[in-house]
């Protein structure tokens, strides 16, 4: 059924809940998990006039935060499922995070993508956007969205 499950995490409580659901699915199906977190490059968001700005400290902080997210995910999973953990660096300005998740799913031949969603509506969703909604639009495979309680 679901032999390869990709889980996108960001360290939030809803992300932890999605990871828990993915672990349950992996246990039921005997499948393996690939847990990723996306590191969005600070270079993508710099205005043209910031040519003298050194983004390296920001990038290093983002990489450290991603490692912390993966360490937390390792703790949550423990030895409950066969799992691989990856930090994925998002460096290209033209690609959105949802597209990057789908690219990773394609590369690992995932049968299912699992991720959390905050379930925002109205103006908050309009202003903040939704990676989950974007993923539903670009994905060629089933996507399981887990909402916060």
What's the token pair of residue 143? 């996507």
Instruction: Tell me the CATH number at 10.
Output: 3.40.50.620
**What is the C-alpha separation between 138 and 147, in angstroms, rounded?**
20
How much is the average pLDDT of 91-105? 83
Comparing 26-40, 91-105, 122-136, the range with the smallest average pLDDT is 122-136
Domain containing 82 equals 4-147
Q: Rounded CA gap, 43 and 59, in Å?
A: 9
**Distance (Å, rounded) from C-alpha 74 to C-alpha 71?**
5
Closest CA to 2 of 116, 71, 82: 82
- Residue indicated by tokens 């049968």: 111
Domain tally, the chain: 1
- pLDDT digit string, tens, across residues 59-83: 888 889 999 999 999 999 999 989 9
Res 37: pLDDT: 94
42: how many CB neighbours lie within 10 A of its CB? 16
Tokens of 4: 């390869």
The pTM assigned to this predicted structure is: 0.86
pLDDT reading at 57 higher than 90: no
């Amino acid at each position: 059924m679901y032999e390869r499950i990709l889980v996108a995490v960001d360290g939030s409580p809803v992300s932890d809940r999605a990871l828990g659901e993915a672990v349950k699915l992996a246990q039921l199906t005997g499948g393996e998990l690939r847990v990723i977190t996306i590191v969005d490059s600070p270079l993508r968001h710099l205005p043209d006039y910031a040519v003298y700005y050194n983004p390296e400290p920001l990038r290093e902080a983002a990489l450290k935060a991603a490692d912390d997210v993966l360490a937390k995910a390792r703790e949550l999973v423990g030895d409950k499922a066969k799992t691989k953990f990856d930090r994925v660096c998002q460096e290209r300005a033209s690609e959105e995070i949802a597209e990057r998740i789908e690219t990773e799913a394609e590369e690992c031949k995932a049968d299912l993508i699992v991720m959390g969603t905050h379930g925002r509506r109205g103006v908050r969703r309009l202003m903040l956007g939704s990676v989950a909604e974007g993923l539903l639009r670009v994905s060629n495979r089933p996507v399981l969205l887990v909402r916060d309680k």
